[in-house]
């Protein structure tokens, strides 16, 4: 059992690393097997298709982001809006480290796959869509708490959380296309503006 | 000359259509040649590599976006901030039509290629980066005009324009991953909040 679990895990880890560094279509099953040091027959024992592996990779990346960035950001030791600011700080630090260690900003693992694959694979599109929706929830909760505390006017917290996470995805794409993690810090400073209802003109 | 020009143009049009509907790595040179009805030797006469073709496709998509969406949005027949709102309306209408005609929201042709290819090809990354930067300019100009007219407080118009276009990219990705053009309208409504300096807490 343990050996089997290890093999499956090695395949997921290899695919996660290779796909994140390039793209889904660029990485073949053979390359993943070579990188994981498993035989191709073993691959198909665990994953009927490359798509099934992609879904497992997305799940693992989601767990990582939740544990390492979301949960640390939204811990309630500081006021709710400061947690949103901490989210952008932790996101910045993660991608600054990546830039220093690899030379590249890889962007968002969900946005990357969603942008590449949404018109090609409904299962991958739905998985990315559900990860985006789940990622909005801690923002929504923090916004509701901020409203309750009187830190914010009454706003549509669900719509605002969606706007902030969509903005986050745009920031991640910008950081990748400019290969510049500093943009996460600079653009992240504007995120809280999306929490304030304005009456234009 | 004309026949030669037509052949080159047919190759670009075929690649633009195929790549936009799927992804860069998914579409091969042979498929592009078949779609354009040209021989592979003819392809390499015009484009030394698939990357060179990708750069020409990005250029053509940029011209299209400028002519059909940016310039129409930012025409000075209405006040500057209303032009930014019109940008999201035209963007929405384009992708709503796409959804109705093809069943899919294809997202942003620059964001798609940038997200897929930025860690794999520096020329493509730089091209997307420069298109993003150029796309911020009409927003910056409208914001400066709004400040001058007294419609906005004095703000950093360059930083704000960058924030709005990064947000636009996030919105386009969300519309693609949810295959729902309505998100462009809904999320676009929040864009002008990024123009208002706020003093939090």
Tell if the CB–CB gap between A193 and B198 is shorter than 8 Å: yes
DSSP A167-186: HHHHHHHHHHHTT-THHHHH
Quick: pLDDT tens for B23-44.
Answer: 999 999 999 999 999 999 999 9
Tell if the CB–CB gap between A125 and B168 is shorter than 8 Å: no
Residues 6+ apart with CB under 8 A from B124: B24, B51, B54, B55, B58, B113, B114, B117, B118
Mean pLDDT of chain B: 96
Domains, chain A, with CATH or none: 1-48 (1.10.10.60), 57-195 (1.10.357.10)
CB of A104 within 8 Å of a chain B CB? The answer is yes
Phi, psi of A116, rounded to the nearest 5 degrees: -75, -40
Which candidate, A185, A132, A167, A157, places its Cα nearest to that of A81?
A157
Q: Which H or E run contains B100?
A: helix B80-102
What is residue B2's predicted lDDT score, i.e. its pLDDT? 66
What is residue A201's predicted lDDT score, i.e. its pLDDT? 42
CB of B23 within 8 Å of a chain A CB? The answer is yes
ipTM: 0.96
A177 vs B59: CA distance, rounded Å: 16
Q: How far is B133 from chain A (nearest CA, A)?
A: 10
What is residue A199's predicted lDDT score, i.e. its pLDDT? 60
CB of A134 within 8 Å of a chain B CB? The answer is no
Quick: pLDDT tens for A160-200.
Answer: 999 999 999 999 999 999 999 999 999 999 999 999 977 65
Mean per-residue pLDDT, B118-147: 98
**Tokens 């730089």 sit at which residue?**
B126
**Token pair for residue A142?**
């923090």
A83 vs A101: CA distance, rounded Å: 27
Question: Which pTM was predicted?
Answer: 0.96
| Residues B27 and B20 sit within 8 Å (Cβ to Cβ) | no
Q: At what angle do helices B157-177 and B122-149 cross, to 10 degrees?
A: 120
Tell if the CB–CB gap between A119 and B128 is shorter than 8 Å: no
Which residues in chain A have Cβ-Cβ distances shorter than 8 Å to B107? 115, 118
Minimum-distance CB partner of B174 among A160, A169, A196: A169
| Residues A106 and A175 sit within 8 Å (Cβ to Cβ) | no
CB of B97 within 8 Å of a chain A CB? The answer is no
Mutation target vs B (from A21, A91, A173; most B CBs, 10 A cutoff): A173
What is residue A50's predicted lDDT score, i.e. its pLDDT? 95
């Amino acid at each position: 059992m343990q050996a089997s679990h290890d093999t499956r895990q090695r395949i997921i880890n290899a695919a996660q690393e290779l796909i994140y560094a390039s793209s889904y279509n660029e990485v073949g099953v053979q390359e993943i097997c070579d990188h994981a040091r498993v035989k191709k027959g073993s691959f198909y024992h665990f994953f009927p298709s490359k798509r099934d592996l992609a879904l497992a990779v997305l799940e693992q990346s989601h767990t990582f982001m939740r544990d390492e960035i979301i949960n640390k950001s939204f811990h309630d030791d500081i006021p709710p809006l400061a947690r949103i600011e901490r989210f952008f700080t932790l996101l910045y630090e993660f991608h600054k480290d990546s830039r220093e260690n690899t030379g590249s900003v890889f962007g968002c693992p969900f946005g990357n796959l969603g942008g590449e694959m949404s018109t090609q694979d409904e299962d991958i599109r739905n998985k990315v869509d559900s990860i985006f929706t789940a990622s909005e929830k801690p923002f929504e909760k923090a916004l509701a708490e901020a409203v309750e505390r009187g830190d914010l006017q009454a706003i549509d917290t669900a719509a605002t959380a969606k706007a902030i996470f969509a903005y986050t995805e745009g920031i991640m794409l910008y950081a990748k296309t400019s290969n510049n993690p500093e943009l996460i810090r600079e653009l992240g400073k504007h995120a809280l503006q999306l929490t304030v209802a304005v009456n234009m003109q």
